[in-house]
Structure 1
C-alpha cells in the first residue's frame, strides 16, 4: 500500500472572509483509467456550476442539483452567487445522454435555493438546502419527481423540515431510512452566520482555527425525525465524530457508511433490530473522500474525492472564473481525483476498498461518482466545476 501522510491547514482572512482547507498526500500520483476514461463535461444550454450531488431516478435518468458552493465557501457574499437549480441527465440507457433543466414547481420564490446533498426514495426527492437568512438556516426540501410519457421531468415541492440552529450552511449530505427518520451530516465544526460564510466573525474564525490546531473532532452524523414544515428532532449518532464528516450512504439493508474528508477515513454503522445505529468499522482511504453513493446494481459503495489537494487548490483559486466558464469539453487545470469501490468481503465480513478510477484532469474537486445501470458510464459530480462529467467504459 502506498505510504502517505497529510496535514490540514485552515486559512482564514479577517479582511476578505476567504477560507479553505488544504490537504497534502506524500504520494506519487498516477492515472488509473483501466475501467473508465475519456472524461468530458456533459454540455448544457443553461448554467449549472457546482453539480455537487446526483441520484439515479431510473436506468435512463439521473437527477441532481447545482449551486456555486465553491464561491460561497470562499467568501463571496450570497447576493453575488448565481441562483441554484436542478437538472436531469436523460437518454443514458440509449447511450445518448443529454441534460435538461428542471423546474421547481411550487417552491417558494421568496426563499433562496443553495442545494447540497440529495437522496431519492421512490419518486420522492430530498435535498439539503442552505437557505441561510431567508429560511432561518438549513432545511431539507422534499419534492415529488414527476416524469411524463415524453420524458419531461418536473420537481413538485411538497414540504420541508427545518434543521435548527446547529445547521446553517453545513448540512452536507443525507439518507432517508423511512418516512419518519433520516440521517444528515454536518461537515463543519460550527454553523455559519445566517448571512453566509463571508460574515464569519473574528471569534468564529478563532474557534475554527483552534479546532483544527487541536485536532478536535466536532463534525458528526445526526439522526433526525421528520417534522413536516416544522423543526426536525435531531441527535448525534454515537461514535460518528470526525474532522469533516461529509458523505453518507445506505446499502438499503443494514449498513450506513460515512466519510471523514480531512481524516481520510470511512466509518460504517449497522442498523440494529430496534432501529438504532451501532458503530461497526473504520476504513482508511487514499482519498479526501467527499460523497458516497450506493450502487444497487452491483451492491457496492462508490466513494469519491480528491488527492494531493494542497497543490491543486493553489492552482484552482486564482483560476476559478476560468474553470467555471471554460468553453471546452475537458478540464483545463490539474486537479487529481479518484473513485473507489467499497464492498463487503464475504470471507472476512469486513468492508474493503478497491481503486476504480484516478485521473489528473477529469473534473475540478470531484464530489461524487455514479455508475450507470449498464456500466457504460461513470458520472462525476463536483462542487466547483461547470458541469457534471461523463467518463466512458474502456474496452
Structure 2
C-alpha cells in the first residue's frame, strides 16, 4: 500500500512550533482547562475528584454511555448504538474508509478538501474521481459535475462540510441534491463535519439527518476548541455502525478514561463553549475582513463563521516559497496552497487569539509590500 504525503500535516509538523505568529490553523483558539471551568462556572475539584476515583483501565471501549448520549443530541434521530468514539475526526474518517473501500471500488471526492478523503481511497485501490470546487462559484462544487461523475457502481461520495481550507459551507438544499444522486446508485455519502457555522449553528444539517446511508464524522478539535483531547466520533445507520465496530477493533481500542470524561464534560457544556467561540469567530472575522479591504495583494471568498479561510495572493513567486520566506523573516505562519493543490493561495486561520491575528496580519502586509 502506497500513499501520498499528507501535505498540510507535513507542513505543520515541520514548521508550526517555530512560528511566532501562527495564523495557519483551522481550529478556534484552544481553551485551557482553567478557561473551560471558568466558562462553565463550575468548581473543577468535582471533575478532578471524578478522575481520581476512576480506575485507569480501558474504560468504555466505544465511548461511555454519557458520551454517546451527548453525541446523539447533536442529531435529529440518532441513538447510542449508532455512535462510535474515535481518535479525532481523522480516526473517524480513516475508520469509515478502511471499513468500506476495496480495490476497484469507485469513489467520488470533493477536491480540494481534507486529503484523507481522496488519498486514503486511492491507497486502498479505489478509482477516485475528483469533484472540483470552484473559486468563481464561492468554492462550491457543481451538481451537474457530480451527475457526470457518478456511475452505477459508485460506492462512496466524500465531502468536507464546511470545506478545509476554504471554509465554504454546503447548504441543506445542495446536500439534498447530493443525496438524491447518491440514492440513485445506492452510494454511501461520507461527510467530515468538524466545522460548525457559529453564526447560525442551528441551521447546520448533518448528512445522517438527510440520508439513511449517510456517514458523519466529527470531533472536539475545531468548533469546540479542544484538539488536545483527541476525541472524535462516527455516526451511521445501525448496519454500517456494526461494520465499523469490527474494523475499529483493529485501529483503536479505546479513547482513554480521562479523555472520555473530559469529552463528555465538553459536550455537556457545548452551548457555553459555542457562545465563547461565536464571539471570537465573529470578532476576528470582522478584523480579517477589514484587513482584506485594505490589502491590495490579498483577496478571499469569506467563510460563514467557520474557522478556516483560503486567501488568494497576488505575488510573483510560488506560494510555498513565499510562505517559507514569510515564516523565516517575520515569524508568521500560513499553510501554502500547494498543500491543497491550490497554488497561488494559502490557508489563513483567522480564529487564533485576537492579538496574534492582528500582529500576524500586520506583518503579512508589511512583507507583501516588497512586491508593490
For the superposition of Structure 1 and Structure 2, which TM-score range results when normalised by the shorter chain? Answer: under 0.3
Calculate the TM-score normalised by the size of structure 2. Answer: 0.26
Calculate the TM-score normalised by the size of structure 1. Answer: 0.25
Larger radius of gyration: 2
Which has the higher relative contact order, 1 or 2, with Cα contacts under 8 A spaced 6 or more apart? 2
More helix by share: 2
